[in-house]
Chain A
Amino acid sequence: MLLIKKMCRDLWNMKSQFLSIFLMCMLGVLIYSGIECVWYGMEVESDKYFAETNLADVWLNGNNITYSDKNRIEGIESVEQTQLSAVYDSFLDENNEENIRLIANAADNISKPYNYSGKKYDPNGDGIWLDKDYADAKDVSVGDFIRVYDDEKNFKLKVEGLVYSPEYISYTGTLTSIIPKHEKYTFGYVSLDTLQDINSSVRYNQLKMVVEEDTDFYELKTRIHSLLEEKYINCIELSEFNQVYSFVSKIQQIKKMAIMFSVIFLLLAILCIRTTMKRIVQKQRIQIGILKAVGIYNFAIKIHYAMYGFIVSIIATLLGYILAPRTIAPVLLDLQKDFYSMPKWSIISSNYSIVLIVLMVLICTITAWLSCTNIAKEVPAQSLRNQVIDSNKKTFIENIEGLWNNLSFEWRWVLRDASRNKARTLIAIVGVFGSMMLLIASLGLQDSINKNNDVIYNEQYTYYKQLTVSPLMTEEDKAEIEQKLFGDYQWVMSISGECKNSKNIGTVNVFVIDKGYYYNIKNANHISIELPEDGLVVSKQTAKELEIKKNEYINLLYKGTEIPIKVSDIQPIGTPQGLFCSKEYWQDLGLEFVPNTLLTGKSKNLSDIEEESFVKETVEKSVQVEEADRVIDSVRGVIILLIMAAISLSVVILYNLALLNFSEKYREYATLKVLGAFNAEIKGVIYKGSVLNVLLGWIIGTVVGWYFLKLYVYTISTTTTVYSPFIKVSSYICATLVALGCSIFVNFVVARKAIAIDMVESLKSVE
């Protein structure tokens, strides 16, 4: 009981030191658990959602897939379930601005729409089961009627239900769009009869499949291709199905982020507790001797000191655990909601948080226990004697005599002290470098995204407007446009095709680019890539996914024919990902150049062209830029979190250490004061003591921060956009000013204590 009272008093007396351990433990758990609640909630809900709706594993796209084809594919051993679907794109307005993808499933077994309200989806029923997000955006309710426009006709459909679809979690509608725009790109489920009423030529063109877990996709795709022959277009597995997989990979990204942060804070907490407990135990050496002299067992003494670590860490970690789902998690989760359509979002913490808490508490307790084992081993008489500070080791700088001899005594004192208190020096360096690293990562993340957007929309794409044109556009139409634009245009053909090499089969985007100056592909170093005459350029991300090597030949499945193409170059391209070739090379391969994108500058005839029926969609580049900038919003929460963590980290750790350093040297400072040193001279020694740590921490933080930024940027890169690490000079200066500012502020606060040094302390015995 007495020891508990003693512990409470010690904790109170050394509150600033224990506060840093408390904050490190709390922040570690708060950040980890806060982020974990988000990814784990997303994972649990998506797993439940995918299981409930029986999300397909493979999507086979083909022409006129019949029941007989379905049966033959079902015969493949690894295929467990199949379901035919017809997918057809149409519009919800006369001006063709609201796009709707109509899906008619032959049955309701695989990738079932999730019913939000109204009737359950009936594959044979009339009406439409509409996307819930579109309904919200357009204020459509169950029982309302909507019109579907196709060519010159329109069809009135009753909204039978509002649904979410597991296949449309992140549906952007076009390759050019990053963020879902539900009011512009939506989907709806209908029956095949309804779909054929809209367009009689529609047939089943997709087969959704559920396959065994250990399926060899290369073999599966090859077999399906050989079964369907010319009907086969491509076969997409989940990891290539961006509408769903971007959500799955987002969960992985957030997961990695949580681990990265918690590891940093866990390490800092360990360092903090080690330094603080060692100091407390050293300071209480004589008290330990007294406790032993009065007959308290060694074990009880060790437990007593271990309890310091236990009590502080358990309260801190539990507080972090309680606060996480109420603070960080809702903010981060809200940011995800703009990007993904899920029927349910939950904040759930997993057992990993508990494991982290147990780990942190255990480590803190064990560290505290270990810090007193040496003293506990001593006989009471030995503990009751003052310990002589062992200071007879040379620092390595002393070997450089030329340098050492030119140093002032204050510097020698500071350097030797730093060398003899390695743990304390290390943690001070870690405090600055950790803060610098987090600041570089947070500001650099924003700069990297901005830079990426800048390169894409100012250097790579220099057009004013992008027009999506129908492939059915005639040569005359094309010639008329070219004439109206007076040569100020560039045609691009973007298709999705299946690419095959000896190791992999995957669906890729192929960009065939005509001559012009509106589309200049840039690599990660912002250097323009010239499209070769004898092959194509593959983006590094695609090459990595499909294990494509430079100068090898790959087969591109286009319109039922496999075309061998040479890979002339592999380049780190930010966005988009895929294969890039010139129109000339494409035509040399004997393929027809059918552009579906027109890039133009500002032209007085542009509005006339936009009115043409073959123009399906127009988008101004400035709108695309705004959209891309919104990506920053999704990470802004994390950026603010990082900056706050960086500042609290440096202030808390550095204050703790500066205070520790000050109290350890108090007697020496008091002696100097008795000897006649001015306050400014004592402050000078205090400042000098931190300069080295700050300088080293800043240098290491700059280097490690860059690698951390690289890793961080890599984790936020998606299957379509690969970000390159970048930090502006102004951001770096800002990070430096904040990191150094925190250190200077802390030292200023501590140095002010020099004024109040009690000189009488120097006359007392060392205790």
Chain B
Amino acid sequence: MKALSFNNVSKEYSVGHGVVRALDGISFDIESEKVTVILGPSGSGKSTMLNLIGGMDKLTSGQLMVFGENISQYSERELTKYRRNRIGFVFQFYNLIPSLNAYENVAIVQKMNGNSFCAKEMIRNVGLENRLKHFPSELSGGELQRLSIARALCKNPDILLCDEPTGALDSETGRMVLELLTDMAKKYKKTVVIVTHNASIALCADTVVHLKDGHIEEVVKNEKPLSVDEVDW
């Protein structure tokens, strides 16, 4: 089943007096309950794609279908509902609220979606059950990202959208976080989209979309994705 379908999607930005075409007529599909990595160097259009999938920006032309619904026609409010109910976001820099403790950071999004998982259960799943009352400033980078994953999953979204999830972590911690991410996605049957420039992550993905200068260079299907342990980081 197709989770996401990009049909001739273009995105242009006005810069000064000119126009920059960040995505140029892109078409590809992302399968549901699979891990897809969008890979590319700086300026390739990764962030633009992330913004479009995340409902944070609107495309200029084309069609973006999410589980059969054309979100490119959505109003601001519909996009907010889309982000609220269907997208779980994992940030590169965790983006946890410093004044809320671990439990509160997850529980604050729990009420956003009527179909949410229990916050405490989610925190237990990411192995932070002993850190419930700790504040972000008291957690390590790996713990912060695990908490961020718990927060993203707690809403029970259709798609887990991850922006460089290991970008701010050392290799060992990054490996652990990636393992957790893929395990959790499998456990909860979530579609995972990871936007990164780290080619090593691509080896663990079911599908890898190579982006360059706003175009798709190639879409690679991994028949046998490697487990995180097997990847040479």
Residue positions of A touching B, CB distance < 8 A? 388-392, 409-410, 412-413, 416-417, 420, 667-668, 671, 673-679, 759-760, 762-766
Q: In the complex where A409-B104, A409-B107, A762-B95 touch, is A674 in contact with B137 (Cβ < 8 A)?
A: no
Residue of A nearest to B103 (CB): A409
B198 interface contact, C-beta 8 A: no
- Contact partner, A413, options B95, B100, B138, Cβ 8 Å: B100
Interface pair A760/B137, CB less than 8 Å apart: no
Name the distance in Å between A750's Cβ and chain B's nearest Cβ.
19
Interchain CB contact under 8 A, A412 and B98: no
Q: Once bound together, how far apart are the Cα atoms of A674 and B94, in whole Å? A: 13
Chain B residues numbered 86-122 whose CB sits less than 8 Å from any CB in chain A: 87, 89, 91-93, 95, 97-100, 104, 107-109, 112-113
Contact (Cβ within 8 A) B91 A676: no
A–B complex contacts, Cβ < 8 Å, 20 sampled: A391-B99, A391-B135, A392-B134, A409-B107, A410-B108, A412-B100, A412-B104, A416-B100, A420-B99, A668-B97, A675-B89, A675-B109, A676-B84, A676-B87, A676-B112, A760-B47, A763-B47, A763-B163, A765-B92, A765-B93
A763 → chain B, closest Cβ, in Å?
6
A417 to B50, CA, bound (A): 31
Query: Looking at chain A's contact residues, is the secondary structure mostly helix, strand, loop, or mixed?
Result: helix
Give every chain A residue within 8 A of B109 (Cβ-Cβ). Answer: 675-676
Decide: A676 and B138 in contact? CB cutoff 8 A: no
For the complex formed, measure the closest distance between the CB of B158 and the CB atoms of chain A, giving whole angstroms. Answer: 13
Quick check: B100 and A676 within 8 Å, CB to CB?
no
Please give me the 3 A-B residue pairs with the lowest Cβ-Cβ distance, nearest first: A676-B84, A676-B83, A416-B99
Contact residue among A413, A420, A673, A759 (Cβ-Cβ distance under 8 Å from B97): A413
**Are A675 and B83 in touch, CB under 8 angstroms?**
yes
Cα of A410 to Cα of B163 in the assembled complex, Å: 26
Give A669's nearest chain B residue, CB to CB. Answer: B97
Q: B85 within 8 Å of A by Cβ?
A: yes
Among A389, A409, A416, A679, the one with the most B-chain Cβ atoms within 10 Å of its Cβ is A409
CA–CA, A229 and B207, complex, Å? 120
Which chain A residue has the least Cβ–Cβ distance from B50? Answer: A763
Quick check: A674 and B99 within 8 Å, CB to CB?
A: no
Closest A-chain residue to B84, C-beta based? Answer: A676
CA distance A679 to B108 in the complex (A): 15
Tell me whether A678 and B80 are in contact (CB under 8 A).
yes
Given the interface contacts A674-B54, A677-B84, A677-B112, does A388 sit within 8 Å of B92 by beta carbon? no
| A390 partner residues in chain B, CB cutoff 8 A | 137
Interface: B61 (CB within 8 A): no
For residue B99, which residue of chain A has the nearest CB? Answer: A416
With the chains together, A764 CA to B134 CA distance in Å? 24
Q: Are A667 and B99 in contact (CB under 8 A)?
A: no
Q: Measured between alpha carbons, how far is A409 from B99 in the docked complex, in Å?
A: 10
B173 in the interface, Cβ–Cβ < 8 Å? Answer: no
Min CB gap A615→B, angstroms: 79
Question: B32 contacts the other chain (Cβ, under 8 Å)?
Answer: no
CB <8 Å contact, B137 and A392: yes
Inside 8 A of B104's CB, which chain A residues have their CB?
A: 409, 412-413
Provide the bound-state CA to CA distance between A764 and B109, in Å. 21
Q: Is B20 an interface residue (CB 8 A)?
A: no
Question: B100's closest neighbor in chain A, by CB?
Answer: A413
User: A409's contact among B108, B137, B163, by CB below 8 Å, is which?
Assistant: B108
Q: Which residues of B contact A391 (CB under 8 A)?
A: 98-99, 135-137
List B contacts of A763 (CB < 8 A): 47, 50, 91-92, 163
Q: Is B226 an interface residue (CB 8 A)?
A: no
In the complex, the chain B residue whose C-beta lies closest to that of A416 is B99
Which residues from chain A contact B124 at a C-beta distance below 8 Å? none
Pairwise interchain contact A671-B84, C-beta atoms closer than 8 A: no
* Assembly CA distance A649 to B49 (angstroms): 47
Q: Least Cβ distance of B193 to chain A in Å?
A: 14
B56 within 8 A of A: yes
Q: A677 to B87, alpha carbons, bound, how many Å?
A: 12
B135 lies within 8 A of A392 (CB):
yes
A390 and B138 CA atoms in complex are apart in Å by 8
Q: Could you tell me if B112 and A389 are in contact, using CB atoms closer than 8 angstroms? A: no
Which residues of chain B have C-beta atoms less than 8 A from A762's C-beta?
91, 95
Which has the most chain B C-beta neighbours within 10 Å: A420, A673, A759? A759
A-chain residues with CB within 8 Å of residue B92 when the two chains form the complex: 763, 765
Contacts of B27 in A (CB 8 A): none
Query: Cβ of B87: which chain A residues have Cβ within 8 Å of it?
Result: 676
Contacts of B57 in A (CB 8 A): 760
Q: Check A766/B56 contact, CB under 8 A, given A390-B137, A678-B80.
A: no
* Docked pose: A466 CA to B54 CA in angstroms: 86
Judge whether A417 and B99 touch: CB under 8 Å: yes
Task: Encode B29-66 as 1/0 by CB contact (under 8 A) with A.
Answer: 00000000000000000010011001011000000000
B21 on the interface (CB 8 Å rule)? no
**Bound Cα distance A373, B82 (Å):** 47
Nearest CB of chain B from residue A389's CB, rounded to whole Å:
4
Task: State in angstroms the CA–CA spacing of A765 and B92 once bound together.
Answer: 8
| A759/B56 in contact, CB under 8 A | yes
- Distance of A760 Cα from B137 Cα, bound (Å): 23
| Min C-beta distance of A211 to chain B, whole Å | 70
**In the complex, what distance in Å separates the CA atom of A667 from the CA atom of B136?**
15
* Additional pairs, 19, CB under 8 Å, beyond known A671-B91, A671-B95, A674-B54: A388-B137, A391-B98, A391-B136, A392-B135, A392-B137, A409-B108, A410-B108, A673-B80, A674-B91, A674-B95, A676-B82, A676-B112, A677-B84, A678-B77, A759-B51, A760-B47, A760-B51, A760-B56, A763-B47
Which residues in B have their C-beta under 8 angstroms from that of A676? 80-85, 87, 109, 112-113, 155
Q: Which residues of A contact B51 (CB under 8 A)?
A: 759-760
Rounded to whole angstroms, the CA-CA distance of A12 and B97 in the bound complex is 30
Residues in A neighbouring B91, C-beta threshold 8 A: 671, 674, 762-763
Q: Among B92, B97, B107, find the residue whose CB has the most chain A CB atoms closer than 10 A.
A: B97
**Distance A409 CA – B107 CA, assembled complex (angstroms):** 8
User: Are A766 and B93 interface neighbours, CB within 8 A?
Assistant: yes
Chain A residues within 8 Å of B93, by CB: 764-766
In angstroms, how far is the closest chain A Cβ from the Cβ of B224?
32
Q: Which of B51, B56, B107 has the most CB of A within 10 A?
A: B56
